[in-house]
Amino acid sequence: MTTKNLRLALLLLAFVQTGFSGTARANPFEYTWQEVAPGVWAGIRQDPFELPQEGNSVFVLTEQGVVVFDAGGSPLMGESIVAKVRSLTEKPITHVIISHWHGDHMRGLQAIQSAYPNVAIFAHPYSRDFIAATQERWLKRRVSMVPNIRKALGAALAADHDLKGRVLIPEEKEWLLKGRDVLDQLDRENNRTTYVIPNATFADRMVLYLGGRELQFLHLGNSHTAGDVILWLPQERIVATGDIITAPIPLLPNPYTSDYAGVLQQIKALGFKTLVPGHGAIQHDTAYLDLLSDTFRSVTAQMKSLIAQSIRKEDAIARIDYSSVEKRFTHGDAFLTNRFHDYVSAALAEATYLIESGTGIKEEF
Ligand SMILES: [Zn+2]
């Protein structure tokens, strides 16, 4: 990746992690709520690319209180979770579990904690450490974030290019313009964000037995990050995966490619009826999960062979062939094709190179 491309990729990722996407609405930070089983609610970002690209959230009502899985990426998202819970029950939110450290899943915590000061907030130890270690940097970076995004968007739109320098297609232009419309609100949210550090951790597995419900929180291995946790409700056969699964295009900033397919197989083996991904629509079968597995297996097999032939890094990355999977993600749609190239092609190839060559992944903030 050239420095310029890397800079633009990081900027896009900053959008993703701040949670910014594209329908012009009064509140661009809202969820669409769906009751996926009695007392189990999923807050879905209807358009997963809407800027800011915030993560989905799930909560479970029990006789002893409410358990929330992921808190959204801004104070407004946390406030909307609190408001939805209060519209359904007088019971308090007692537990919040964070799927991973990325901001689009945890910067809503402050609203939940301020509404329920005694709430226990759990994360994998890796995620808690990462949040604690990086909060100062993010709180500094947020000052320049929106001005930088505004500048990059302005320059791209003026040149009729997208953020990667490609000729601007109408769908992409509409997306960027809608994103530009929410920048003031994003800036306000950034400026009122305080970091909440999880106050409890568990390494591999935690099970809550509350009011007749069983809620399992499982770390199945490294995949989207080194601290991913899923929610599994064995009675309801519902799984919420965090960003291990994001649809319709995977978000792969620093994927642990050699373990990823194995983690996906463990999720498949649960025998779920309903899957709530970290971003994107609810799923009821394993087709998308299988496509993700095929993608990791294909890229890993190709990369092993290229490394065995001593092909140098940049060439190896360029030679990864996605033709067996790309159309299964994009169906030829121009906007999705751009997202596939931005989020998957080079990023997955590079991560796979780093892992298969023994360098290893460094998660970026
Ligand atoms: Zn996310």
pLDDT of residue 20: 43
DSSP 63: T
Instruction: Select 1-286's CATH number: 3.60.15.10, 3.40.50.150, 3.50.50.60, 3.40.50.1780.
Output: 3.60.15.10
pLDDT of residue 23: 41
Q: Ligand 1 center to residue 39 CA distance, Å?
A: 24
Positions in the chain short of pLDDT 50: 1-8, 18-24
Q: Ligand 1 center to residue 100 CA distance, Å?
A: 8
Q: What is the rounded distance in angstroms from the CA atom of residue 285 to the CA atom of residue 206?
A: 26
Q: Is the peptide bond before 52 cis (omega within 30 degrees of 0)?
A: yes
Q: Ligand 1 center to residue 277 CA distance, Å?
A: 9
Q: Ligand 1 center to residue 323 CA distance, Å?
A: 26
Give the residues across from 215 on adjacent strands.
Answer: 208
Q: Ligand 1 center to residue 171 CA distance, Å?
A: 22
Question: CA separation (Å) from 75 to 49, 105, 108, 241, 313?
Answer: 19, 11, 4, 22, 41
Q: How many CB atoms lie within 10 A of CB 151?
A: 12
Q: What is the DSSP string of 73-92?
A: SSHHHHHHHHHHHHHH-SSP
Q: How many CB atoms lie within 10 A of CB 343?
A: 21
Q: Ligand 1 center to residue 255 CA distance, Å?
A: 13
Q: Ligand 1 center to residue 53 CA distance, Å?
A: 7
Pseudo-torsion of CA 289, 207, 96, 113, nearest 10°? -170
Q: Ligand 1 center to residue 97 CA distance, Å?
A: 14
Q: Ligand 1 center to residue 172 CA distance, Å?
A: 21
| Tokens standing for residue 196 | 């909440």
| Tokens standing for residue 36 | 């996926």
Q: Ligand 1 center to residue 104 CA distance, Å?
A: 5
Which residue reads 């083996």 in tokens? 269
Q: Ligand 1 center to residue 88 CA distance, Å?
A: 26
Residues within 5 Å of ion ligand 1 by Cβ? 55, 104, 243, 278
Q: Ligand 1 center to residue 114 CA distance, Å?
A: 23
pLDDT of residue 6: 46
Q: Ligand 1 center to residue 83 CA distance, Å?
A: 22
Q: What's the N-to-C CA distance of the chain in angstroms?
A: 18
Write the secondary structure of 219-239 as one string of H (helix), E (strand) and C (coil). CCCCCCCCCCCEEEECCCCEE
Burial class of residue 209, CB neighbours in 10 A (0-12, 13-18, 19+): exposed
Q: Ligand 1 center to residue 16 CA distance, Å?
A: 7
Q: Ligand 1 center to residue 102 CA distance, Å?
A: 6
Q: Ligand 1 center to residue 19 CA distance, Å?
A: 8
Write the secondary structure of 121-141 as one string of H (helix), E (strand) and C (coil). EEECHHHHHHHHHHHHHHHHH
Q: Ligand 1 center to residue 195 CA distance, Å?
A: 17
pLDDT of residue 29: 83
Q: Ligand 1 center to residue 103 CA distance, Å?
A: 8
CB 59 within 8 A of CB 41: yes
Q: Ligand 1 center to residue 253 CA distance, Å?
A: 10
pLDDT of residue 323: 97
Q: Ligand 1 center to residue 315 CA distance, Å?
A: 30
Q: Ligand 1 center to residue 44 CA distance, Å?
A: 12
pLDDT of residue 19: 45
Q: Ligand 1 center to residue 300 CA distance, Å?
A: 23
| Tokens standing for residue 135 | 């909060």
